[in-house]
Structure 1
Amino acid sequence: MIRILLSVIAVLLLIVGLLWWQVDRQAATITKVSGQLDSAIAQASSLRNTLRLQRELNADLSELDRKRTEELTNANAELEEFRGRVGDGSQRLFVKASCPTAGVPATASTTGVDDPAPAELHPVARQDYFALRGQLIRTEAALAGLQEYVSTVCRYESRTED
């Protein structure tokens, strides 16, 4: 009878040992999976925050693009209006100029001067003036847009580093 009792106790101890081993394995697995879950939750939160910041940046850049495009369109329209006024003669394009007096004798007579009107650009040079002015408008608009773009992007980069 003692043998049977010892055998039952040995079997019960073996079963308890196996159960303990199984519980320990399951606890380790639960701990590992729990750590992976926490890591995945943190990564998902970071990705959500990054996505939110990216959407805000895209909205701000879209507004910046719209504003700069509108400013450029307005500046080009003003230039075309000015070109039209100069072309139809309602406004003149004058050049601030002076003739050098070096080499002209003081006794020279001015009887050959017909009209002391201010100097004006030749029609061919006038087109070059408008082309240069248009390039200047585009360059200034592009520079202002790039400066604002850089300040906007740097602002978002500093927010993501926090």
Structure 2
Amino acid sequence: MTEAQPRGEDAGPTERRAAADRLLEAHGAELRGYCRAMLDEQEAADVLLAVFGYVEEHGIEGPLAGPDARLTLLAVTHNRCIERSRTGGRPPRGAGRSADEAEAIRALAQLRPMGRGMVLLRAVLGLGWHELERVSGKPRRRVLQRVTGAWRRISALTGGERRDPDLDGGAPLDERPETWARIRA
């Protein structure tokens, strides 16, 4: 029989650090990528330090201890990035990236922080609509408005075609895991 791990206030610094290390090992690269897509390098590093501090402090209690740890970490990171963006944080510029990547980053950088975050969470990290609701704290209707509005803006910024939304056609939204696996491949 194994001994239960201490939780919350019963945990010592060693247990807290070990829990934080496990969470950051599992999700750190994803959090880092999200921050770097939302903010310039220095500000992304600052936000990551704040998130890592939060993880170290809360890593073995509450939602960070359960199966929703990824969404909780993304919510904390998303909120910190939005807050930094609204208080003078600079978006990334795409320096050191391929021409296509730099163009995409510059187009994303012209979006409002919430729209930029929603597009990244949906298209890059592959969050479903219900997960976007949880991470952003916004109702599904608002999430859909933010994502579709951001995509329209990106399309206009990059010279893409704009379709008449009243025309019939196009595929319905597909949330099946196998569809997302094909998109990410």
The TM-score normalised by the length of structure 2 is 0.24
The TM-score normalised by the length of structure 1 is 0.26
Structure label with greater radius of gyration: 1
Bigger RCO of structures 1 and 2 (CA < 8 A, at least 6 apart): 1
